[in-house]
Amino acid sequence: MGSAKSHSLLPSVEQFSNELWLVHGLADRTIDAYRADLVNFGSWLTQHNGQSLLQAQNLDIEAWLASLLERKISARSVARYTASLRRFYQYLTTNGQVAQDPTMRLGKIKIPHRLPNTPTQDEVASLLDITDLNSHQGLRDKAMLELLYATGIRATELSDLKLEDFDFKNRVIRVCGKGNKERLVVYGEEAAFWLDLYLSRSRPALRRDYLCNHVFLSVRGKKISTGVLRLVVKKHASNKGIERPLSTHSLRHAFATHLLDAGADLRVIQELLGHACISTTQIYTFVATERLVTLHSRFHPRNDDKADLKQGEETRIRLRSTSLR
């Protein structure tokens, strides 16, 4: 923020950030997002009417949100900004820093229903069919992708995994997810085979720093970054000619959707994914339903557009225009 008045915003924002970390245990990236949203709104306030965050009124917030929509900022992003402001001003009101919460009368932003980009089982099988298994990087990539699909863990969670997080005998991993919440996830024989092979053959060769206890390492011997993970997925998807845009999160979507397709209980999937709310997991039921509708439309004989069904369509048209006795 440019002006001197803008800098006076920082104490309240930093106090709020500290509360998110100390009391609520939110992840650093989440706190950074809150802080960035507040800084953006504070800058806009200063430029438009010379006010600070502590002086903002309901009309100021509505005007800012309206300006975002006019700039074609997505409804999803505007909803996130709104949530950041609500939480911030609730904090200020509770702590007596403002007399009244200016977000109380804000309306709810309607977010368009967006289904996850979920690869099919064939696409996942193609992605996991890595042929470069004679190199340490290739073996590492194979183990990482198998584990992502086997567990549904997030890219950051995979990157943070350490050797002590694994119960190799029972194939169980202790994962630290969003908000530093721990959960247990399991993985199957296929992922176990490639993980064991990577740990015995490739990890020792990649390891440079003997103090580094992370499982998956970069070519420099350090903990692998989420950026490298994204590139790994894109690289192998491109090598296999997969046209659907894929990311590490695509494998998380695939894990959940394919379990649901196979009849897994939604509550179990919620626990494995580490979702705090079941409504977040329920999005995968829409994906499964959409897939069922598509399959039914393609393969059910009564949906076939053959000549022997055209007569039935003619009969239906005639019946619609005929009065019944």
Tell me, yes or no, if 249 is annotated catalytic.
Answer: yes
Tell me, yes or no, if 284 is annotated catalytic.
Answer: yes
- The active-site residue out of 178, 183, 230, 234 is 178
267 CB-near residues (< 8 Å, 6+ apart): 278
Rounded Cα–Cα distance for residues 187 and 191 (Å): 6
Tell me, yes or no, if 178 is annotated catalytic.
Answer: yes
Rounded Cα–Cα distance for residues 147 and 185 (Å): 11
Cβ neighbours, 10 Å, residue 100: 11
44 CB-near residues (< 8 Å, 6+ apart): 64, 67
Residue in 282, 278, 269, 27 with CA at minimum distance from that of residue 151? 269
- The active-site residue out of 91, 149, 187, 284 is 284
- Strand, coil or helix: what is 262? coil
- The active-site residue out of 236, 252, 253, 258 is 252
- The active-site residue out of 80, 174, 234, 275 is 275
Residue type, 105: R
- The active-site residue out of 154, 203, 214, 236 is 154
Give 63: exposed, middle or buried? Use CB within 10 Å, 0-12, 13-18, 19+. Answer: middle
Q: So which residues are the catalytic ones?
A: 154, 178, 249, 252, 275, 284
